[in-house]
Structure 1
Amino acid sequence: MIDSSNHKGARMIVKKNMGKATKKAKSQKTVKSAGEGRSRAPSYVSFPAFDLSRENVGLYLTAVKPSEIFEFTRVSRVDEDAEHGFQRALESHRVKRIAEYIGDGNVVPGAIIISAQDSGDIHFKDGAIHFPRQEGMFLVIDGQHRLYGSVRAERDGMDIMIPVCILTNLDHTEEVQYFIDINGNQKGVSRTLRIELTKFLVASESIDAIRLKLFEELNSDDESPLSGHLSATKRSVGYISHVPFKAALDRILDKDPLKKLPFDKKKKLLINFLGGVQENLIEVDQAKRLYQSAFFQAIFKVFEKSCEIALMYHRNYSQEAFSSIFKFIQDLNFESFSGSNDEAVNNLAKEISLMLEVSLTTANVAEELI
């Protein structure tokens, strides 16, 4: 049984300590250098806080009005900063729902987690955390929708405080790892975004790193049949996300012929392969199939076989060679195959493999091999 009197006493002690810290923090709301007359030092902001730091990671818990912390935060989103971003896009309907939730008298149940971008300027003294009055001082790790929703609720007239957890001494990789650790198992973080974020964590020469670089370059290179049709953050009609791309590429990147090729050659071979397939899809007005998950994965099930045929019958890996090999695609009854689960992919792959084998009965071996 929980002793409610002990919990009441604990709350009174916390309130009393926070009250003392608040008085000290308010008296230090603007801290300036004694030598201000000679050179203007940055002003400091202070909030009462608890120091929960552990080893080399600073951890400070405070409670503030949303507007008091909002002006010092920024969010690094994947859609806005492809090189360093790791947050999801801000969804206005979620912000609105959270603001309405607070407006109904509810409290924000979880702390907004932010990371100091210049930990050397953060100080904890006399029960308060002190930092420079500087825009972008903190990067939001978790809770961007709660933060924006709280700010909106405050602007709508709500008098509220929100819990904020301030982390210090983290580098960018650690910030991304904390984001994944916090959100990885929660519904709402798509598999494709989680795959996208591994670019900050993987070894440079690993299969993951090579695949992620191929994903980026095949999407941005105008010569690529996939140009503009790869989505790093979500599933969408007409786009291939990281999930089917990973399923299709991981299996072949560690095998010949791709395994032994340098990156630029890997990329060129994939462009030629996909280009040959695309030419035949266009002939039968089925170009959109290349950007459908099931077909994309299924066609790569015959990648190694088609490469062997390209060498045997054409002596090269050119787009023209693959276009000739995949002419049978024009006879594929696409309407007989639907769905995007593993069974659908495997059934389509079997049909493509069978049609490829049949097509070889009428093919001619390159004269140089005879």
Structure 2
Amino acid sequence: MTLHPRTSAPRLQSLADRGGKAQPMLIATGLKRYFPIRGGVLNRTVAEVKAVDDVSFTVIKGETLGVVGESGCGKSTLARLLMHLLVKDAGELIFDGDPVGQAEGLSLRVLRRNMQMVFQDSYSSLNPRLPVEESIAYPPRVHGMNRADAKRTAGELLQRVGLKPEHFGGRYPHELSGGQKQRVNIARALALSPRMLILDEAVSALDKSIAAQVLNLLGQLKREFNLTYMFISHDLHVVQYIADRVLVMYLGQVVELGPVASIYNAPRHPYTAALLECRLTTNPADRIDAPPLLGDPPNPIDPPSGCRFRTRCPHAEPVCEARMPRLGESNSDPSVHLAACHMAHPGSGHSHAERTVH
């Protein structure tokens, strides 16, 4: 049996591109997720951690959307909301024109055939009691494929990710290196012929040389299977390499969104500019005399009024305290560069690092 991307029988078939190429693969509108903090004698909710707070964005078909931000900004929570591993408090998801989880829309079972996730911890993502070939074959079997075809598909996917099935198919997770385990996780994510992958820190735990191999593999698979990626990472160099657009999160909100070249060359939000200045470099001429960003992020239980970044922002003005800046609408145009900042000037081409606001 020869495996072809998306089309091979008896592989499970994805939904057709119902909205056409112009229809975004994913539209998220007003997503919210608050985690309650309970206390007192009656164990009542006394506060809430606003992990994801009114997040809206689109993912264009065929692109790689990079998601960056400090630890605790809500990146992984956002990914789990998209996969419905966490229940959202508010908001709407539309996958290729179909609302998710509504009576007339996509069921979660159908959504998860078309959208899969690769987690950061490659070891805990795998069942330690199952050989890796069985781990890959399990999702197709759950969705109706017979055992023989599922095993055959698992072997072919192992081959696709660079692991010979005759050598690695019968091994258990503890017998594999970190890079090999992550390749198995990628193969398992592809087992249902998805159209979109969410990659949550998929290479952060790997050595740089192994991470580079996995990144090249992801690029090859994206072209081969016509995939759309949402790539979450702390490593800004990796995001610059793999992403087409970048979404920047701060304290549960999106503060900047735009093409990777535009954001890296001329960031419009001071937080994005500070993140970029924190990148490691081997060029001694690029050393900085002072840290570009001071202080810890505010408490997500009680975030600052107005702009949440204003307490750390060198350009803050009274309007930043009085009114929360809005990101604006991208209208699914991947060339639009948006920033949720009162001090940003759309279309100016200048970053906060290049001008001083008095």
- Which fold has the larger relative contact order, with Cα–Cα distance below 8 Å and residues 6 or more apart in sequence? 2
Higher gyration radius (CA): 1
Compare the two structures and name the one with the higher strand fraction.
2
The TM-score normalised by the length of structure 2 is: 0.30
Compare the two structures and name the one with the higher helix fraction.
1
The TM-score normalised by the length of structure 1 is: 0.29
